[in-house]
Amino acid sequence: MALFRHILFLGLSLLCRTTLVSSHSRHYTTPSVPRLTDLFSHVSVNQSFSNFFGGQNIKLLNNGSMVTLALDKTSGSGLASKDKYNYGFFSAAIKLPAGLTSGVVVAFYLSNADMYPHSHDEIDIELLGNDKRIDWVLQTNVYANGVSTGREEKFYFWFNPTLQYHYYSILWNSHHIVFLVDNIPVREFPSNGKFSAAYPSKPMSLYVTIWDGSEWATHGGKYPVNYKYAPFVTSLADMEMAGCTMNPKQPDSSCSNASLSTIDPVGGLDFAKLSNQQVTAMDWARSKLMFYSYCKDTTRYKVLPPECK
């Protein structure tokens, strides 16, 4: 009997540990959505990006169509687009580092902090390494006009993002910002109504980085990066940047909306609002996978942003 109880205890312990280790072990049937990533051409990494920092940890592969970025004890690494965009569709297929990755942050984001240090805009996809579990977290955020308070929402994945490449995309135009994972919208931030004051509107560059976010990414530094497991390497492919590029000689120029019938993420009618199919998919993602929204964080926000009311 004692032996049976011991075996039962070990079995339950293993089950609990397995449950703790990975939430993406749960099976989800994902909704069908249009594949926006199939609509745009891939760009060459070496032709479209410059080294942002940590050049020694950046490796181009497959004639510049793929790249790996690494974080080690000496430095993280990152790329910045050579062009600045007024609006557009931005996407990459990313495979995240496996193993114990607490404090590691892989970021795919738009920013103009270099041009507007005191009133910058930002649209963020931040992939946060696990703290105690073998789970990555997707964090989305929007900043506008230098407002220090972001508008974060966090999601679990329905897959293991370290096993293969998955698409992470941002659609940004005058109508809305949409965050997508494998073409499934997980969040929409409209430009109208109470959202308008917090809507990014100035030209931005696209950045892809990996860096040490120990101080904030894991409960205020409770689980810092353990460099025993370094280097942490993320791989990127199928990079897409389609939209309105800024003319350096006319920084205040706007995008042309002359053709609304073509596949155009800036002015195309198909990109002005989500389809019914996309709305259904977004509702699925938010109900199943979102576990934090700034609109429900009354501890952090004594007065909730206006769009939350």
Residue 3 covered by a domain: no
Domain for residue 1, yes or no? no
307 is known as an active-site residue: no
Q: Is residue 109 part of a domain?
A: yes
Report the chain (309 residues): mean pLDDT per 10 consecutive residues.
43 39 66 96 96 98 96 98 96 96 96 92 95 82 83 95 97 97 97 86 96 84 90 98 81 55 84 97 97 92 86
Q: From CA 46, how far away is CA 140, in angstroms rounded?
A: 27
How many domains, in total, are found in the chain? 1
Whether 41 is covered by a domain: the verdict is yes
- Summarised one tens digit per residue, pLDDT across range 271-302 is 999 999 999 999 999 999 999 999 999 998 88
Contacts (Cβ under 8 Å, ≥6 apart) of 38: none
SS3 of 259-286: the string is CCCCCCCCCCHHHCCCCHHHHHHHHHHH
Q: Is residue 12 part of a domain?
A: no
Cα radius of gyration rounded to whole Å, the chain:
20
pLDDT tens for each residue of 80-100 = 999 999 999 999 999 999 999
- Which domain range does residue 147 map to? 29-247+258-308
pTM: 0.89
Give the H or E element holding residue 58.
Answer: strand 58-61
Nearest to 274 by CA among 161, 187, 149, 165: 187
221 falls within a domain:
yes
Is the residue at 9 inside a domain? no
User: In CATH, what number is assigned to the domain containing residue 77?
Assistant: 2.60.120.200
